[in-house]
Amino acid sequence: MQVLMLKRAINLLKTFLFPIAVYVIILIVTLLMNKTGYVSSGAFDRIIRGSVLTTITAYAIALPLSGGRWDFAPGIIIILAGIIGSNLTIDLGLGPIMLLAVTVAVAVLLSLVEGLLYLWIRVPTIIVSLGVVMMYEALSGVVYGGSGTQLYMHAGLTVFARSPWIYILLAVIMVLFYYLLSHTKFGYDTRSLAANPRLAVNMGVKEKKNIFLTYLVVGALLGAAAVINASTVLVSPAGNLSSTALMFSSMGPVLVGLYLAQFTNLPLGIFAGALGMNALSYGMVVLGIDSSMQTVIVGVFIVGFMAYTSNQERIRVYLSRRRAAN
């Protein structure tokens, strides 16, 4: 029992070694450059709080991605669900709990429309999702006169973007996401379809039902993300595929998290990836690096990380041969 607990503790440390290492390295760099903003408790809170929205969005991206389905629609679903859910809540005079319920319901509906379109026309999800993005972006400029939403102006409705409720929401989502993937038939079927779709279908897995449920779960996740997003920023109508920026900003944690998940599980791996990437991004802000260069650095970092993790065995063999030769 003690050995098992020790092994789990070591694996947990391996999972979170990435964000810890990123934070420590950038902390040393900022201190050497006489930048003290990164060492404050406020900076630590911003990194963790900023990771909540990224983590939930990354969950919604990783779930269909595990089945080989690239989806560009999460960003616009977050924006459109935030606009509709926030304005409905304000107009009806509802509270924060109903804001969450209404926004999640809207996001689920928007996500299911995309899923049903995919099941109906059976073309690659990249094509379907791009069409859905353009359609929803146009819709975001029509609903409520294209005014978007300023939910942050209503302090009583923004509790899910503040401590402790933002962390409670993340904890609940993380536990439910883990349970769904690890202890339900849906999770088993999802992993089977990801590993070998043809074999899984031949063994009795209902692929269409699994895809439908996937978009249902994705919608619920994006609804929660929409509430947090609308509670912190001015949500404006999107256009010219600008909404995909929200999706791409969470791709780093997804790619890093898929690797870190081997030590513990996918929810913790993605959360650790989000912490690390947000620590990197906030560190660059403290160092005064402009936004365009930040994008370049993050891109180079992700490519380097993926190149290393994908070629670990080759690197190990190469180093072993070099040691043997010496």
Calculate mean pLDDT across residues 54-59: 95
Q: What is the pLDDT of residue 309?
A: 78
Tell me whether residue 326 is in a domain. Answer: no
pLDDT-derived band at 274, boundaries 50, 70, 90: very high
Q: What is the pLDDT of residue 98?
A: 96
Tell me whether residue 321 is in a domain. Answer: no
d(CA 9, CA 14): 9
Q: What angle do CA 153, 158, 164 make, to 5 degrees?
A: 145
How confident is the model over 134-147, as pLDDT tens digits? 999 999 999 998 88
Q: 149 has which bridge partners? A: 235
Tell me whether residue 136 is in a domain. Answer: yes
| Average pLDDT score over the chain | 89
Give me the domain span that covers residue 204.
40-249
Q: What is the pLDDT of residue 126?
A: 87
pLDDT-derived band at 1, boundaries 50, 70, 90: low
Calculate mean pLDDT across residues 261-285: 92
Tell me whether residue 46 is in a domain. Answer: yes
Does the pLDDT value for residue 213 go beyond 90? yes
How many domains, the chain? 1
Q: What is the pLDDT of residue 315?
A: 76
Q: What is the pLDDT of residue 205?
A: 82
Q: Annotate 240-281 with DSSP letters as a single string.
A: TTTTHHHHHTTHHHHHHHHHHTTTS-HHHHHHHHHHHHHHHH
Q: What is the pLDDT of residue 308?
A: 80
Tell me whether residue 264 is in a domain. Answer: no
Tell me whether residue 316 is in a domain. Answer: no
Does the pLDDT value for residue 17 go beyond 90? yes
How confident is the model over 216-258, as pLDDT tens digits? 999 999 999 999 999 998 899 998 888 988 888 888 899 899 8
Tell me whether residue 204 is in a domain. Answer: yes
Tell me whether residue 323 is in a domain. Answer: no
How confident is the model over 79-120, as pLDDT tens digits? 999 999 999 999 999 999 999 999 999 999 999 999 999 999
- Using CA atoms in the order 287, 290, 294, 296, what is the torsion angle rounded to 10 degrees? -130
Q: What is the pLDDT of residue 114?
A: 94
How confident is the model over 171-210, as pLDDT tens digits? 999 999 999 998 899 988 888 887 777 888 788 888 889 9
